[in-house]
Structure formats: C-alpha cells, structure tokens
Amino acid sequence: MKISMQSHERFFNAQLHFVVVDEREDNKEVVVASYMDVPESVQAVSAGFLEGRPLQLESFGEIRRGSDTYRRLERKVGLGDVAHGMVFSSMATLEGLNDVIEGDKNSKGYIVSMTGDIEEAIAEHCINRFGLPPEWKEHYPKLFDPLLHHMRIIQNPAFEDLYPNLKAVRLEANEEEILNMVETALRNRMLRIPSSDVHGKFDPEWSMKQYMIENAQAMSKKLQAFKPRHTPYMPLDPAIAQMKRVPFPAQAHVIQGLVNGLDHENSVFTSANMGTGKSIQAVGVTNVLNERKKRNNAKKGTSVLLSAPGITLKKWQNKEIKQTLPEAKTNIIRTSGDALRLLNKVRNGYRPEPGEIEITIVGIDKAKMSNEPYFAGIWRRMKGTRDEFTWHCPDCGRPLKKKEEDSWVDLEWSDVAVGIPPLPEDIEEAAQAKRLLPNGLPKDFKVKWKKTKRFTTCMYNEEVFLPQKEIDHHFNKMEINKDDGEEQVEEKKNLAKKYASCSSKLYRPAVKNRGECRNKPRVNISQIFKRMKKYFDLYICDEVHQCKASGSGRGDAFDKMVKSAKKNLNLTGTLVNGKSSSIKEILWRTNPAALLKRGFTDATGDVAWAERYGKLKQVVHVEEEEKGWTTKQRRKPMQPTEEPGIAPQMTAEYLLHNTAFLELDDLGLPLVEIKEKPVFLDMDNEHSAAYRAFHEEMYQECSKKAIVGAKGAWSKFNPATINYADRPDLGASYSFSNNGDYEDYYVTAPEIEGFHAKERWLVEQVKQELSENRGVVIYNNFTGSYGLNERTKEVLEAHNIDCCILNESNTEKRSERLEELKEEGVRVIVTNMKLVQVGLDLLAWPTLIFNQLSYEINQVRQSAKRSHRIGQHRECRVFISVYNGSQQMKQFLKIMSARGHALMTEGRLDKSELAKYSYDEQSSLATDLANCFAASNVANAWEELAAKEYEDIEMIEESRFQEVLDARMKALADETRRLCGVVEGEVVKTMEPVPESEEYNLFAFDFDNETGEGGQENLFDLIEVVDMNGYKKKKGSKKAPTEDQLSFSI
C-alpha cells in the first residue's frame, strides 16, 4: 500500500506503515502518518503534506492535513539508502497542546497508543495534560469515556506485524470540563481521596500565602522525612582546617558537602561565583579524601587527575596546590610522551605511597590532541583500463567502493582528497624515476585530505558489500572432498566469506618524516588516561562548561578522563548559559544513567532536550500564491531553534542532589564596588544611512535563502552587520550563490573614512580612566580577518594613547605575558575576550570596556569579572558600548535575556522577575531594523540585572578596604578552625575513622532517603512560617521583602 504526492513536475510515493485519520462528517484529517522509502521520496511526501498538498492513499482516496500545527520526523535507516518518515499533529503531543494559545480552553487532543494499551495512554494523557492526581489513574478511562471518539486506523497489510495493536482516540474536552467531571465524581463517591498521615487544610478562597500559613505544621512534618546530606549544623572534617591555606567557613561547608556527595554520586559539581575559591574547594576535597584513606589505613595514597585551561596550569601548580598542600606531588603532562611514561609506570605497578597525594595536571586542549589522519588508500589504475584511476584498499588491493542510489561505484579522488589528482603521465614519470610512494602518488605531490568519516574501513565484508563472485573465488580454491557433509560444506563457505572479507582501516596517523604533517607523532592523552583503568581516585575538571559541545575535541577528552577515574568533581562559575542544552552533554558524560532513565540517549539532539527542559522557537514563513480564481497561503516552517529558557524541572532532576552553589556574599568577605554601564551611541549620519541600507539588503537576501532551505542562510548576517557598524572603513562585500546559470549576487556597503562615533567615545573614555590612574582593558570579539584589535590600537595611538595588544596564542605563556605587561607599566590593553575569560586576574586594570560583545553569555559574564576579585582595592567599572539602531543592539538584548535565565537557574533571580529583562523572547538572532532600537528603560534593566550578581555583598571604600579585608580574612580562617575542632598548629578534636561508603552529602535533600534521623527532628520542630509584610528594611541592606513574601524562621 502506497502513499503518494503529485508536485508541479514530479510524482513521489512511499510505502505506508499506517495512517490515523480523524473522520468528522465529510472531513478526513490526518493525525499521524508513518511511511518509508528512499530518502528523496520520504522528504518530498513530508514536505508536500506540511505545505497542505493533498496525498493519495491507495484504496482509500485523498487525505489532507488539518488546520493544526504539524511536525515531521525523518531518519535514515540501515546504510542510509532507506529513510523512515512520520508526520503528526501537534495535538497528539503534550508539548503541542501546551503551546496552544489559551490552551486551557482548547477542547481537542489526540491520544495514540502504539502498543494497544489505550486505557493506559488515556490515563497518562489526562494526568500530564490536566494535572490530575495519579492515584485515580485506573478510573480515568471509564470516567472520561463519553468524551472519547475512536479514530480510523489504516494499516499496510505488509507491515501489520509492526504495530498490530495500534489504537487512537480523540478527547473532546477542555480543562474546565475535565475538572467539573472530576468534582462531580468526587461528590458521587465514584472517586475517593486516599488516606494520608499528613492532614493538610485547604480552602479554594485562600491565597498561596494563606495556604502555607495554615499548613505550616504539615509541611514541617513532610520536611522531616528528608535527610539533608549536609547542613551548616553538621560537623566538618578536621582535615579541612589543617591545610596551609585555611578555607573560609562557607568554603569549608562546600568542601564537606562535595566529599559527602561523592559517597552517593560518581560525579558532583560546584557552581561557584568567580572569586569564591573553586580551586581551594577542589584541593580541600582532595585533602579530605586522602585523610579519610589514612584513617582507614589504606595501602596506597591518593592519585588525582586535574584538567584545566592551559593558561592556568602553572597557577594551579605553584599557587593553588603548593601554597595549600606543600607536601603534595604535582606533575604537569605536556606531551603524549609524558602520558605514556606515566601509563608505563602504572602498568608496572606504581601507586602513590600511603598518605601521599599525587596530582597529575594536564591542559584540556593538550588532552584532546590526536595524530593528524592520513588516508591509507592506494591511488592506481583500474584493472582493464588505461587512464582511469581509483582508490584501492592497502590490504586486500581491491578497488574501494561507495554506494550511489542502488548501486556500488568506484571511489573517486574527490571523495577523500581536495583538489585535482596527479596526471597519469606524472605518475608514470615518477614510477620510472623511482619516486612513486607506496600510496601511488608522486613523492613531491602535495595532497590535502577531506575531513570525512564516510570511508574509514574497507567495505568488503558481509555487513556492507561482499559480491558473491568474491566468495565463489575463495570457495573454488578450497579442496572439497566427496565425503564432506552439508555441515563441512557450509563451514567452508563461511570460511570463504571470511577470506573474502577485509574491513581494514583506511586511515593511519600522518608521519612527519615523510612530509605528511608538521607535528611529531602523538597519541591522544585523554585516551592514554582512559587506558589506566580507574587508576585515578578523583578527576577534577576546571571550567567544565568549556566541555559542553557534543562534537568537540574538549568534550571527547572530558568524556575519556571522566572514565579514567573512580569519581569526578566538576568546577565552574557559569554552570549554564541560559539555554537548557548548554549542560546536556556534560550530564550525559558524567551521569548517563539518569538520562537513560528518562528516555534520552546519546543520539538525543538539542531540540528534543529543549522540548522538555527548555524553550523552542519555530519560524513559519507564509507565502500567498495564485491558483486560478483563488489565493492560497503556503506555510513553510523553518527548523526549530532553542531560545534562552530553562525549566525548573531540569535543575530538580539533574543538579540539586549533586551540586553545591556558592556565591560571593556567602564568603563574608567585602569587595570593592563594581558598576556595569551600557552606553548606547548613535551613528554619524553618513555611517547610519549606509548601515541601514546594508542591513536591510542583507536581511532580505538571507531571508530568501532561509525560505528555500539553504544551509547556513543566516551565517553571514551577524558578522557582517555587527562589523560594518564597527569597521565602516573596510566597507563590506558578501556574496550569495545562486542556483542555475545566474551569477552570484553581492551585497555591498561603501567605505567610510575617519573615526566613527564609537571610536571617538572610546578615546574620550580611555582618557578619562587614565586621568584617574586606572588601567583599562578593551575587549573585542572579531579579531581575525576584521582586525578589530589592530584598528582599536591604531585609533588610540592616533590620539596619543599608548596601548598593547594581548594576543599570545600559547595558553601557558599568556599569564606570563600579562605579568610582563604589568611590570612594564602598560596601562591600556586591547585583546579578545576569549583569551582572558578564564584563569587570569586583571587586578591592575580595574576598568573593562566591551568594544564588542559575544553571543556566548559565559564569555561575557566571565570576562566582565576578571578585575573584580578578592584582592582588588580599586572600584571596578565595566562599560559596554553599543550602536543603537544596529544588530549590536539586538545582540545586547539577546545577551541580557540569556543572562537572566542563567541567574534564574543559579537561584539569584526569581522567575517572576525574568520578563523584566527579556526584551527579545519572540525574536530571532537576526532581525530587521525595526527591532534594533533600545527601549527607554533597557540601560536601567541591564544595570539592575548586573546588580543581581552582587546582591548583598558588602562593599568597602578604597581607603579602608585593605585594612578591613585583612582583619576579616583572619577572623574567617579562625572560625573555620573552630568549626573543624582545630586550633592553629594542633588538632584538639579528631573524627573517628569514616568508611568511604558512609553517607555524606551536599546542600540538598536526598529524596531517596526518607528518614528523620541525625538530629534533624529537633531542627524542623522549630520551623514556623512568618508573615514578612511588617518587615522593615535594614539600613544599608540592598534587599527588601516583596509583597506577600514568606520566610521560614528557625
């Protein structure tokens, strides 16, 4: 049975699996359709259906889509020559139902059960859609039966075995009708409220505040059931206070919480503000784990693997570790040879001595490096031809093949290599001169390989491509005896298949001595660590957010190093960037069981993840087309994209039980004041007119490409518009390729000489800061071909301002270069914000100016705080210069929204406040000029949002700051010693030996352990709810309670 579609020029059909049709009067709407065929046909049928074209169903007639939103799924199966397609109404998914405007009034919903258990599906649908209690699950199908309408299912007889019990119904009821039926059933005693040991009170007229006050005791009783893994009332391990550098009390509690968490989880996180001491937390955890081993008389010491950005390796070794644990051994792995020597030692039985701490440090970028791949195929003449060449397998010698449509053809030069192959006469000449390499290429011929994974092994094997003649050839060579039975003959046939198979690897490491690469042979360091088979007791990953990308080298190295250790601790100052997918891959690599439990796999994409835990946006282009007497609308939906937005459910399910959150104000240390100020500037008239024309033309051209589905249609828009605003002196010219015989189309903008408005503002601002004896760092983003660093230096020097560009590419030498600039007295530095976003302190330059921004919110947040750290005694200033009426303003609004979502996840911003800082929720990264102008309150909103990051932090004026800081640090260190039962120089209280399996925990509730032991009953008996309306704001406090705010009094 086939499903087919007729386009203007072609006819497509596919093999039907099944189709679910909602038949109402004369209308037949498709709810779900599943089919398979060659990829081109599947894509055409899906696209035609979504565009509203009628489909012909064999033996049934014409079917169409309904007026609802539809979604499509397409996936290649097997070797990719066949694809499975599915289209379905969004009304068949909870996400689609939730997206309906005024969804509580929507009365339609589709329920499909692939297994046939339609009652189970109906119950789950009602529970999740209407928030009904799961305790009445078995009653819902019968209760709502009058609202259910069974839909027609048409199945292809050839595929009936796939879904033999498929059932589908339509539920016709809105939320109010469902709740009324539940209420009636309760009154008629068809539904009964189950018994509970908690007796709460409820009145529909109550506000949330009244509800909490009336049920304070009941909630207190429920809270007693959860045993916190660590609280400030629990003891601290004395080892925390016995380090040379003593952590502050808040840091000490985080260390203890992380140690306790590692008893329950293989992986824990510390999400701590920049400047809160993530490094001393990591060193403290290491020391406590080692001391616990010593108490338990362990036979070996503690081995730790630490990965960090290369720029921070020396700082970790000499400052963070040596100044805290002077006796710890440290070793920096700089080459794969260093890693191989360590592997050899471990394999020969090496282990740290009892009580000894050994920390192996490696740069994350060093750990990801591997050999450059070199294609091992042989380029030689095809058998039976004179001038036709193809690639051959280096082992079996047979021509390599690729599949095109339904046939196998020889591999071409362009399949694996770039450029033009050597001429046959050149190969012949090289062979005669004995300059022909083993791969069939002349010795002096330079070849560049394509980065493709399509042809990694020889395809001659049973699973891919094994012609029968190859098997017969080897079988005929075998000696067949007359006495051989069927089993012996079959065994020899299998042996012939084995001989005919190859599967040899087609890539090998490039060799420098042969001129194949510039680098010496090297082995992937992270792979070496993985082969040590859990030699490391703990793996610490600094700046773990840099390993978030799914296909990146850092992510792959992080994955291998996680597997090289028994436990791992992840450090970051920005756990998420405002989007839910920013942590998905990190969670998959550290705790895959949790994701598998909830239905995710390694193949789950960002869109599927964001559907559950984030926010998606889909743009639909509507075109009107004339057809005879009528005008029809043609809808073309674009690929959904993720917007800033994180569901609290994600934090609850994956982070609260294994993450410690620490903010600057938790430390109890004062900081100097920091001010962030956005500066919105207007372009000069000539610049503005040229920019507007260029922006609009780029927008229109990119829109055209996006509508026809061109790959990377918008990739040029942001760099082009942002940089023409900042570098009008370069002009602009961007080409757009056209299909067919048309020439490429160019969008251009004129060159404008002189210093534009932002440059003039920058000069005046830098002069003002220098007049106050303040160092300045200027951040750019596009520092490659656009040359923003060089232009900024040119502008400043033209106004007699000396400056220096920081562009040291070696990460380990970058911190040394920064120290040199400090000693030389350089007051103005120009750099890319990516170079200083982690691991560097800019204390000598308290003023930071963003000449450009980045869409990566983590880069902006981290680079903005490089000078505002413990030890800074000058007021910190951050200026952000933005051209109003340009794409830069759109970028600024996008960043503000992402920053708000990140702060909400970190608990520093309430969800109710989020809308105040989200000016671009319904718009895309690229926009027309109408949306590129700032509202009157945008600058104030940014400053308020920036203040949220430092709320409640004590600020001290510059003249008294150092004196107050020294006294406070000593007092806090003494408090930590007291909490740990330690006085300076000796231990007055020790903890009993603690088995490594004994329960400890983080600042969260263990929802799997419902006991009220451990002294918690007395604590929770003291909880009461207090009405905060009568609260008066304290003098000097920055926070005041909001309306109807409640508090727990202990």
**Residue 9 pLDDT greater than 80, yes or no:** no
pLDDT over threshold 90, residue 691 = yes
CA angle at residue 935 from 934 to 939, to 5 degrees?
Answer: 75
pLDDT digits (tens, 9 = 90+) for 556-614: 999 999 999 999 999 998 888 778 888 899 999 999 999 998 888 887 888 888 888 88
Q: What is the pLDDT of residue 762?
A: 96
Q: Which of 273, 318, 324, 270 is nearest to 973 (CA)?
A: 324
Q: Which residues pair with 671 in a beta bridge?
A: 955
Tokens of 302: 């503690």
C-alpha dihedral (550, 551, 555, 560), degrees to nearest 10: 110
Predicted local confidence at residue 919, as pLDDT: 53
Q: pLDDT tens-digit profile of 33-68?
A: 999 988 888 888 888 888 888 888 887 788 888 888
Handedness of CA 822, 824, 828, 831 (dihedral sign): negative
Amino acid in position 72: R
- Residue 344: band (very low, low, confident or very high) from pLDDT cuts 50, 70, 90: very high
The reported pLDDT for the residue numbered 1022 is: 35
Q: What is the pLDDT of residue 726?
A: 94
As a whole-number percent, the residues of the chain with pLDDT over 70 amount to 83
> Under DSSP, is residue 361 helix (H, G, I), strand (E, B) or coil?
strand
Cβ atoms 248, 972 nearer than 8 A: yes
Question: Residue 856 pLDDT more than 70?
Answer: yes
DSSP, residue by residue, 113-170: ESSS-HHHHHHHHHHHHH---GGGGGGHHHHTGGGEEEPEEEE-GGGTTTSTT-EEEE
Q: Which domains does the chain have, with CATH numbers?
A: 2-187 (no CATH), 244-370+523-610 (3.40.50.10810), 373-460+503-514 (no CATH), 468-478+487-500 (no CATH), 615-658 (no CATH), 668-682+754-948 (3.40.50.300), 698-749 (no CATH)
Cβ–Cβ < 8 Å for 258, 274: no
pLDDT at 251 over 90: yes
Helices (H), 377-438: 424-432
Comparing 797 with 817, which gets the higher pLDDT?
A: 797
Q: What's the pLDDT tens digit per position in 305-330? A: 999 988 889 889 998 999 999 999 99
Q: What are the pLDDT digits (tens) for 876-907?
A: 999 999 999 899 998 898 888 888 877 776 66
| pLDDT grade for 1042, boundaries at 50, 70 and 90 | very low
pLDDT score for 517: 82
Mean per-residue pLDDT, 965-991: 71
Q: Poorest-confidence range of 543-552, 786-795, 876-885?
A: 543-552
- Measured CA to CA in angstroms, residue 1002 lies from 257, 397, 703, 900 at distances of 4, 60, 49, 26
3-class DSSP state for residue 749?
A: strand
Residue bearing the bigger pLDDT, 738 or 155: 155
| Residues 59-83 pLDDT 10s | 778 888 888 888 888 888 876 678 8
pLDDT at 619: 55
For the ranges 524-533, 638-647, 949-958, the maximum mean pLDDT occurs at 524-533
Going by C-alpha positions, the residue among 233, 283, 273 that lies closest to residue 253 is 233
Q: How confident is residue 969, by pLDDT bands cut at 50, 70 and 90?
A: confident
Which pLDDT does position 623 carry in this prediction?
Answer: 53
How sure is the predictor about 850, in pLDDT bands with cuts at 50, 70 and 90?
very high
Distance (Å) of CA 671 to CA 596, 946, 1039: 44, 15, 17
Q: How confident is the model at residue 971 (pLDDT cuts 50, 70, 90)?
A: confident
- What is the per-residue pLDDT for 605? 82
Work out the mean pLDDT of the chain and round it to a whole number. Answer: 81
- What CA–CA distance (Å, rounded) separates 401 from 392? 9
pLDDT band at 285 (very low <50, low <70, confident <90, very high): very high
Q: What residue ranges in 276-422 does DSSP mark as E strands?
A: 302-308, 329-333, 357-363, 373-375, 378-381, 389-392, 401-404, 407-410, 417-418
Tens-digit pLDDT profile for residues 418-463: 889 999 999 999 999 999 998 899 988 888 888 777 888 888 776 6
pLDDT value for 638: 59
Q: What's the token pair of residue 563?
A: 């597997």
Average pLDDT rounded to a whole number, residues 856-879: 86
* Unique residue bearing structure tokens 């258990």: 117
The pLDDT of residue 795 is 95
The pLDDT assigned to 991 comes to 40
Query: What pLDDT sits at residue 274?
Result: 72
Q: Which whole number is the average pLDDT over 490-502?
A: 77
Token pair belonging to 35:
């089919």
How many other C-beta atoms are found inside a 10 Å radius of the C-beta of residue 46? 23
What order of strands is seen across the sheet that includes strand 357-363? 329-333, 357-363, 302-308, 536-541, 565-572, 267-272, 659-662
- pLDDT-derived band at 104, boundaries 50, 70, 90: low
Measured between alpha carbons, how far is 582 from 642 in angstroms, rounded to an integer? 11
- Residue 244 pLDDT level (bands cut at 50, 70, 90): very high
Phi, psi for residue 6 in degrees, rounded to 5: -105, 115
Question: Of residues 977 and 274, which shows the higher confidence score?
Answer: 977
Mean pLDDT value across residues 1001-1007: 34
pLDDT of residue 755: 95
Q: Is the pTM of this model over 0.75?
A: no
Please report, rounded to a whole number, the percentage of residues in the chain having pLDDT higher than 90: 33
pLDDT of amino acid 913? 66
Q: What is the pLDDT of residue 1046?
A: 40
Q: What is the pLDDT of residue 998?
A: 36
d(CA 251, CA 60): 70
Buried b (16+ CB within 10 A) or exposed e, 140-178: bbebbeebbeebebbbbeebeeebeebbbbbbebbeeeb
Task: Please give the residue that has the higher pLDDT: either 250 or 920.
Answer: 250
Of 746, 650, 767, 640, residue with least CA distance to 697? 746
More confident residue, 228 or 381: 381
What's the mean pLDDT in 100-109?
66
pLDDT at 1050 exceeding the cut of 60? no
**Residue type present at position 18:** F
- Select the more confidently predicted residue: 700 or 1005: 700
